[in-house]
Structure 1
Amino acid sequence: MEPGLRFHADVLTDKAGSMGDTTHLAIALRAGVRESTISRLLSGRTVPSLATLVALADAYNCSLDDLVLGRVRALPPRPALAQARTAASI
């Protein structure tokens, strides 16, 4: 990541908690990523890929800015991304 940019695990855990996702497994299942990836991200042992950031942002209806700059704002639902993700997993 560029200097000044970092993954804000606190934003993810706050967003996840507000949706009832309090475990690494729950976050992983909602975002469609491996539980081990979530564990490494939340412990600071790895830097997320762009694909992982997009999956997390989509799953928790937040922006990439929220996750890498720590800005938190409400976004309208993104049904097109959710539908595309569902269609791709079928």
Structure 2
Amino acid sequence: MQDDEKEVRMPTLHGKTVTDRAEQAGDKTHAQIARRLNVKQSTVSRLLSGTTAPSLGTLLAIKGAYGIPLDDLVVEDAPAPAEAGAEAAR
């Protein structure tokens, strides 16, 4: 693979960390997480499944809502999600 053909890799949300902390806070469903973060339920589903990359705003909302350090929220070296910009359309 040539340098200009490198696969783009973006951080993805560490879904297990988020769901574990959400459950501790009493949020057991995607709808409850979405309400706490003030995003659509479909956004939460895409983020937790890894199909959409989280925006900085969403990462900060999760950090604020559940007290998870930013370093613990993302998994680096994951392939770029097919819908990398889809979350912005929330």
Give the TM-score of the pair, scaled to structure 1: 0.67
- Structure number having the greater helix percentage: 1
CA RMSD, Structure 1 to Structure 2 (Å): 2.0
Who is 2:67 aligned against? 61
Highest relative contact order (Cα 8 Å, sep 6+), 1 or 2? 2
CA contact (8 A) 2:63 2:70 kept: yes
Deviation at 1:33, TM superposition (A): 1.4
Who is 2:19 aligned against? 13
List, as ranges, runs of 4+ consecutive aligned residues in structure 1 with deviation greater than 2 Å: 2-6
- Structure number having the greater strand percentage: 2
Deviations along 1:16-73, whole A, 9 cap, x unmatched? Answer: 011111100100111111111101111121111111111111110121112015xxxx
Deviation at 1:5, TM superposition (A): 4.1
Q: Which runs of 5+ in 2 are unaligned?
A: 1-7, 76-90
Size of the alignment, in residue pairs? 69
Greater gyration radius: 2
Q: Which runs of 5+ in 1 are unaligned?
A: 70-90
The residue correspondences of 1:1-90 to structure 2 (distance < 5 A) are 5-68=11-74
% identical equivalent positions: 50
